[in-house]
Copies of this chain bind each other. A is one copy, B any other.
Amino acid sequence: MDAMIMYFGGIEAGGTKFVCAIGDENGKIYARERVATEEPDVTIPKVIQFFRNFKVESLGIGSFGPVDLNKESKTYGRITSTPKLAWANYPLVQTMEEALHVPVGFSTDVNGAALGELYRGAATGLDGCLYITVGTGIGAGLVSKHQLLQGLSHPEMGHVLLRRHPEDKFEGICPYHQDCLEGLASGPALEARWGKPASELKNDQKVWKIEAEYLAQALMQYILIVSPKRIIMGGGVMKQEQLFPMIRARLKELLAGYLDFPELKERMDDYVVPPALGDNAGITGALILARQALEREHVSRP
């Protein structure tokens, strides 16, 4: 490794795997490793070991959630009420700070992916974007004027309520809301409704008509409420590329010309787009979180 380059560490902490990477300021990745998500006592020592082999200036983590992002909170840096019980309340940030002695930036996986796509992917040149993943769960992160949106909590956009498609009698699988967006349109919801994994349903038109309806309704709510500069749709289910034109067309119908912006009219093809970074959006974002953590450290300890 080149001694003149600053190296950053990134972790995309997911429910099935932790992707760990070493990269530089420009998003170039020098080393990468996947560690299976087992119990923290098994997974975290392997993650720490990976980073011990490198000299990083700081670390960024984009994590599955919900997570506590409120720096004034006693439980800042923890995964909170996850159904993966071994990880509930696990002090992820604190453990990594104590092991590596570097500043740690922390956010959700989708917030990380939104940063990755904004600065190195499908939204470069803009000052914000919304990134939504449609996979095992549905979640989204928003950057607006270069800031991640955060209130009481990080966004939980996957659980918005929808109008039922008249041909869809499936009851939904969200343990909290039954037929919210995640309950009706996530990968596992597709599998439960149709009896086959989503990846094997490609040729069934009705599957994607209903899926596009729900995703278009969700995007409509996001546009009316936060008005993103661009919407990037990733995750396993969005590998079904036929969804993109269907979602755009239905979204236009739903908006009914109400918002008079070219992005939502003649330029819709550039407004709702797949990730330019593909599966690298999350880890690229984690490296950006690392760099931001280092910058904050320099401001607060000049």
Contacts and interface: CB of A to CB of B under 8 A. Distances in A.
A226 B224 contact: no
A248 interface: no
> Which residue, A149, A164, A254, A257, has most C-beta atoms of chain B within 10 A?
A149
Contact of A225 (B128, B222, B255, B264): B222
Contacts of A160: 220-221, 224-225
A149 B221 contact: no
Interface in A131-155: 144-145, 147, 149-155
A30 interface: no
Contacts of A256: 176-177
A147 B150 contact: no
* Size bracket, chain A contacts: 35 or more
A226 B227 contact: no
A105 to B, nearest CB: 17
A6 B220 CA distance: 44
A128 B151 contact: yes
B80 A257 contact: no
Contact of A263 (B66, B152, B227): B152
Interface in A256-286: 256-261, 263-264
Secondary structure dominating the interface of A = loop
Contacts of A152: 223, 227-229, 259, 261, 263-264
Contact of A150 (B145, B177, B225, B260): B145
A301 to B, nearest CB: 22
Contacts of A157: 224-225
A138 to B, nearest CB: 11
21 contacts: A80-B260, A81-B260, A144-B150, A145-B147, A145-B150, A149-B226, A151-B228, A152-B228, A152-B264, A153-B259, A155-B227, A156-B259, A157-B224, A157-B225, A159-B224, A160-B221, A160-B224, A163-B163, A163-B164, A221-B221, A222-B225
